[in-house]
Structure 1
Amino acid sequence: MIQLKERDFEAFFEAPFSAYGPDCTYVSPMKSDLRRFLAAGVNPLFPDETTFTWFTAHRDGRVLGRITAHVHPASNALYGLERAYFGYFDCADDSEAARALLGAAEDWARERGFAEIAGNFNLTAMQQIGVQTGGFEHAPYTDLACNPPHIPRLLEENGYTPFFPMSTFENRIGSIDIDSLIGPPQRAILDSPEFSFAPVTWRTIDQRMEDARVVLNDAFANNPMFVPVTAHEFHFQAKEMKWIMDPRISAVLHHRGEPAACIICIPDLNPLLRATRSRFQLSTPWHFLRHRLRRDRAVLIFSGVVGRLQGKGVNAVVLHRILGAMQRAGYRTLGGTWISDANRASLAQKVKMGAYPLHRLHLFRKDLRA
């Protein structure tokens, strides 16, 4: 018999380890980060506990799964939606547990008058989203959604429909001809005194991240589901990245002293998270130093060019700088966060760079009025 518990954080953190076992490719966020994501008044997405909750499913003392139920008011207001979100849906291949968890999230949404529920959103469209529906043989990078093949099946069994198809990609850095990125338009930008790369160092990292937020909000303004990110939200989300960033592999380009373009990359943290089981332990500093010496995978968190400079060769200039830095630093592969099927320009760029598909993802939704 399934027992549901609400707001049991220890069980919520333990759920994927218990449900999936050691051989699954899923990698949990750090326990301390997950705790602050779910802290009302700490996470700016949740000013109080009325806009979110979470559930865990148990049987005979074993945690079988978890799910969040929450709302993103800014997204609903911007797009005219009556949508609740579910997130962090991780569950054993157990129909009874899945039905209980999804039903709890649906009941939470119905009680608040929402017309539909959709996910995974961990926790917004500007963070980790999607349910993995293909590429299960490939290990994920940091910040990429990952789950076993039975998760989409459990969702469909419970009346959920896939939509908003996405893909993630991977590049072999050494095989990229970075000089091919520089043509006459890019050379003109590099030679122009109006453009300059802002220093990315440990001392300047807070300012560079604010530059990145400015670029993000401008560059992604017309992208589906995008909601402008406040300074409080962005720096809360970025806090977890700062201690693992390699300043050599992120870049911010200024035009006439203002943020014009950026590429934010971080080393793939998943090998460290696996080694520590996503917990701070006595051995964590040793694992961290070992990871720094051996890291050869990086992940592109996002790249963007402000609207007034798009289509002028600026992105290739920044990409050339970053890929060259990665080659010199010994990185071998570069993973990228999701790109929707509707974003043909970004997909074409991936093909041009020789990237190959890593994971297939979809969002899943259910009409709560039926």
Structure 2
Amino acid sequence: MIEVIPVSPKKGLTDFIDFPHDLYKNDPYYVPELFIAQRDLLTKHPFHKHNSLQTFLAYKDGKIVGRIAAILNNAHNKFNNCNDGFFGFFDCINDQEVADALFVAAANWLKEKGVTQKIIGPVNFSTNEPCGLLVEGFDSSPVLMDTYNFPYYIDLVENQGYTKQIDLISWNWEGQNYDDKSVRLLNTLQERLKRSNITIRNINLKDFKNEAAKLREVYNKAWDHNTGFVPLTDEEFDYLAKDLKLILDPDFCLVAEQDGKVVGFGLALPDYNQIFKTIKRGRLLPTGIFKLLFNKKKISRIRIYALGVIDGYRKMGIEACLYGTIIKEYKRKGFKCAEAGWTLENNTLINNAIAAIKGDPYKKYRLYEKDI
């Protein structure tokens, strides 16, 4: 017998967070999410002030066999002039009946909330957070803030009637296997930009609050035409920035500005998943915190997390300067591999640019949709 039970912060939340650890315990590529980070995401994130979420656990013969979250993102619906709902945090044993029960529970909750058009997913909570179902590239661990799932998830989702909305591509470079043209031309490009009073600099961590406010404005402008984009509120961006500040390397956080106005930025992050993978069940205590503190120098990969320029400043060479500077620092610091991701499959301009510097499209994630 399959039973789907709503989860509350006071009852079932720990089981909801921990279920993937048991499901993937024998998978060599699985990386556990930090428990404290997942708990705060599900209970304290500013998202909850303006939106709604209900998590569910599926039980079969008294044992937890799946989970899902139904998500009503009011900001998405207002920005995109629609009435959609989302599913996220989906994990399940290889059992279609269990998956069906979870999807039905999520759909029913969204209908009760007044959703009348589509259900889209997986997202946790929007495309600003980890999203997409892994559909290609199952032979390596996910990089920081990427999703991961078993291949059979594709059938579980598609058998429920979900169809592709769009694919998201992650790109990989190994060692020095990249075209360093942007590095070789870096000085020339920077000199050209200076003639327009545009400079590239590192983020100023001593003035982080003001820097974050400037980057927030660029973030909400540079990606506003992307499929599924939702602008972040001031509080949501500050929440994200506060988390990223704990792990960012200022040499990989670059700001492009003209006469003091920020017009673009690039951010690459050390792949802390290489450490998180060794932290049992995502618990920092009692020993996980020491792995986190003492293994930072062992990280060998970076993820180019965000790189954007606002309208009116594109195709001037800013993007090439941001990429060139990141590649230069990647080489100087001795990293062994890098990921850029993700990019929308229909973003021809950026995909061609990445392919031109020998990026390998090694992973693909899919957003699905279904009429409710």
- TM-score normalised to the size of structure 1? 0.92
Give the partner amino acid of 1:158.
Q
1:342 corresponds to = 346
2:165 corresponds to = 163
Deviation of 1:122 (Å): 1.0
Instruction: Give the whole-Å Cα distance in 2 for the aligned partners of 1:299 and 1:187.
Output: 24
Deviation of 1:201 (Å): 4.9
Does structure 1 residue 285 correspond to structure 2 residue 293?
A: no
Question: 1:33–1:240: 8 Å Cα contact kept in structure 2?
Answer: no
Deviation of 1:165 (Å): 1.9
Question: 2:178–2:359: 8 Å Cα contact kept in structure 1?
Answer: no
Does structure 1 residue 66 correspond to structure 2 residue 70?
A: no
Instruction: Give the whole-Å Cα distance in 1 for the aligned partners of 2:214 and 2:134.
Output: 31
Does structure 1 residue 239 correspond to structure 2 residue 245?
A: no
Deviation of 1:61 (Å): 4.5
Deviation of 1:36 (Å): 1.4
SS in 2 for 1:101: helix
Question: 1:24–1:148: 8 Å Cα contact kept in structure 2?
Answer: no
Question: 1:15–1:91: 8 Å Cα contact kept in structure 2?
Answer: no
Question: 1:18–1:62: 8 Å Cα contact kept in structure 2?
Answer: no
SS in 2 for 1:239: helix
Question: 1:185–1:313: 8 Å Cα contact kept in structure 2?
Answer: no
- Structure 1, residues 250-304: CA drift from partner, whole Å, max 9, x if none? 2112211111221111111112211113221121232113321201111111101
Instruction: Give the whole-Å Cα distance in 2 for the aligned partners of 1:189 and 1:29.
Output: 44
1:219 to 222, 225, 230: 222
Instruction: Give the whole-Å Cα distance in 2 for the aligned partners of 1:197 and 1:163.
Output: 36
2:336 corresponds to = 332
Count residues with an aligned counterpart.
365
**Counterpart mapping for 1:138-177 below 5 A:** 138-177=140-179
Question: 2:253–2:268: 8 Å Cα contact kept in structure 1?
Answer: yes
SS in 1 for 2:349: helix
1:9 corresponds to = 13
Deviation of 1:190 (Å): 5.4
| Unaligned segments of structure 1, at least 5 residues | none
| Shift in alpha-carbon separation, 1:173–1:249, aligned structure 2, 3 A | farther
2:133 corresponds to = 131
**Counterpart mapping for 1:55-94 below 5 A:** 55-94=56-95
Deviation of 1:155 (Å): 0.9
Instruction: Give the whole-Å Cα distance in 2 for the aligned partners of 1:309 and 1:65.
Output: 46
Question: 1:138–1:359: 8 Å Cα contact kept in structure 2?
Answer: no
**Counterpart mapping for 1:317-328 below 5 A:** 317-328=321-332
Instruction: Give the whole-Å Cα distance in 2 for the aligned partners of 1:56 and 1:234.
Output: 29
Percent identity (aligned):
25
Deviation of 1:139 (Å): 2.0
| Shift in alpha-carbon separation, 1:177–1:351, aligned structure 2, 3 A | closer
Give the partner amino acid of 1:71.
L
Instruction: Give the whole-Å Cα distance in 2 for the aligned partners of 1:284 and 1:208.
Output: 31
SS in 2 for 1:142: coil
Give the partner amino acid of 2:235.
H
2:369 corresponds to = 365
- Structural RMSD (CA): 2.1
Instruction: Give the whole-Å Cα distance in 2 for the aligned partners of 1:235 and 1:173.
Output: 34
SS in 2 for 1:308: coil
Question: 1:196–1:255: 8 Å Cα contact kept in structure 2?
Answer: yes
Instruction: Give the whole-Å Cα distance in 2 for the aligned partners of 1:188 and 1:320.
Output: 14
Instruction: Give the whole-Å Cα distance in 2 for the aligned partners of 1:150 and 1:126.
Output: 25
Question: 2:202–2:252: 8 Å Cα contact kept in structure 1?
Answer: no
Deviation of 1:321 (Å): 1.3
Question: 1:85–1:117: 8 Å Cα contact kept in structure 2?
Answer: yes
2:30 corresponds to = 26
Question: 1:173–1:323: 8 Å Cα contact kept in structure 2?
Answer: no
Name whichever of 169-178 and 104-113 sits farther off: 169-178
Name whichever of 105-114 and 56-65 sits farther off: 56-65
1:254 to 254, 257, 260: 257
2:231 corresponds to = 228
1:311 corresponds to = 315
| Shift in alpha-carbon separation, 1:285–1:22, aligned structure 2, 3 A | same
Question: 2:66–2:92: 8 Å Cα contact kept in structure 1?
Answer: yes
Deviation of 1:325 (Å): 1.1
Deviation of 1:173 (Å): 5.0
Structure 1 segments (4+ residues) deviating >6 Å: none
Name whichever of 131-140 and 207-216 sits farther off: 207-216
Does structure 1 residue 302 correspond to structure 2 residue 298?
A: no
Instruction: Give the whole-Å Cα distance in 2 for the aligned partners of 1:344 and 1:252.
Output: 24
